[in-house]
């Protein structure tokens, strides 16, 4: 996904608020071995990209940041929102470089939820963990991990160890953590 970035100058709160009023989103681009760069992006362009994304997949999406003829690849490390309007108020990007490992959160998608044995018997499916923090090279970034819950019965659970990680992807969390549990329903 391509985003146009522009350098921004003054760091004063008034100038940032003015930038937001004009439809810009202040951002910082972090790159290894270089000072952080203060930039901004267009809120309408960014919102269009957000609408096109599958829910939960923002941390694994690679953005092509274009500034004039320069292009750099980056992922979003942090996104801040206005607490009242929930509009994006600030973004932290991290430039990705081929051959340099990165840390990111990969979403976990549950499959066969409606066919789940425990849910059919009145149990309540509770997803305890929604993301797995991993380390990998940019070329190995998985879009998501899937976990099939079809055969889970009431009071049964699935752990992270049941998710097959692709080669080159190293988990940064204990793999014995519970991802999903089928709790006993009321009744």
- Which residues neighbour 28 within 8 Å (Cβ) at sequence distance 6 or greater? 36, 37, 38, 39, 90, 91, 92, 93
Q: How far apart are CA 146 and CA 170, in angstroms?
A: 16
**Neighbour order of strands in the sheet with 157-159:** 124-127, 178-183, 157-159
Q: How far apart are CA 74 and CA 39, in angstroms?
A: 13
Pick the CATH number of 102-183 from 2.170.120.20, 1.20.1730.10, 3.90.1640.30, 3.40.50.720: 2.170.120.20
**DSSP-assigned beta bridge partners for residue 90:** 80
For every residue of 96-112, DSSP letters joined together read --TTS-EEEEEEEEEE-
Q: Are 85 and 144 in contact (CB under 8 A)?
A: no
Strands 63-67 and 2-7 come out as parallel
pLDDT value for 18: 87
Q: CA dihedral in degrees (148, 179, 176, 112; nearest 10)?
A: -10
Query: In the structure encoding, which two tokens stand for residue 153, read together?
Result: 């019965």
pLDDT tens column, 44-95: 999 999 999 988 899 999 999 999 889 999 999 999 999 999 999 999 999 9
pLDDT tens column, 127-182: 999 999 999 999 999 999 999 999 999 999 999 999 999 999 999 999 999 999 99
Q: How far apart are CA 102 and CA 75, in angstroms?
A: 10
With tokens 């430039």, the residue in question is: 95
Domain spanning 2-95: which superfamily? Ribosomal Protein L25; Chain P (2.40.240.10)
pLDDT tens column, 10-58: 678 888 888 888 999 999 999 988 899 999 999 999 999 999 998 889 9
pTM: 0.85
pLDDT value for 10: 62
pLDDT value for 180: 97
- Which residues in the chain are classed under CATH 2.40.240.10? 2-95
Report H helices in 27-133: 43-52, 117-120
- Which residues in the chain are classed under CATH 2.170.120.20? 102-183
- Which residues neighbour 141 within 8 Å (Cβ) at sequence distance 6 or greater? 60, 62, 102, 104, 106
pLDDT value for 187: 59
């Amino acid at each position: 996904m391509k985003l146009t970035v522009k350098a921004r100058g003054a760091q004063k709160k008034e100038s940032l608020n003015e930038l937001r009023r004009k439809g810009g989103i202040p951002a910082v681009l972090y790159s290894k071995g270089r000072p952080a760069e203060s930039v901004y992006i267009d809120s309408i362009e960014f919102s269009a990209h957000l609408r096109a994304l599958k829910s939960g997949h923002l941390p694994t999406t690679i953005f092509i940041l274009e500034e004039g003829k320069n292009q750099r690849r980056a992922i979003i490390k942090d996104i801040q929102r206005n607490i009242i309007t929930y509009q994006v108020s600030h973004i932290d990007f991290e430039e990705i470089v081929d051959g340099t490992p990165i840390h990111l959160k990969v979403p976990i998608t549950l499959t066969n939820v409606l066919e789940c044995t425990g849910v059919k018997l009145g149990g309540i499916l509770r997803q305890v963990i929604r993301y797995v923090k991993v380390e990998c090279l940019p070329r190995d970034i998985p879009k998501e991990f899937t976990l099939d819950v079809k055969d889970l019965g009431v009071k049964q659970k699935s752990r992270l160890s049941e998710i097959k990680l692709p080669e080159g992807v190293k988990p940064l969390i204990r793999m014995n953590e519970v991802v999903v549990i089928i709790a006993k329903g009321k009744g």
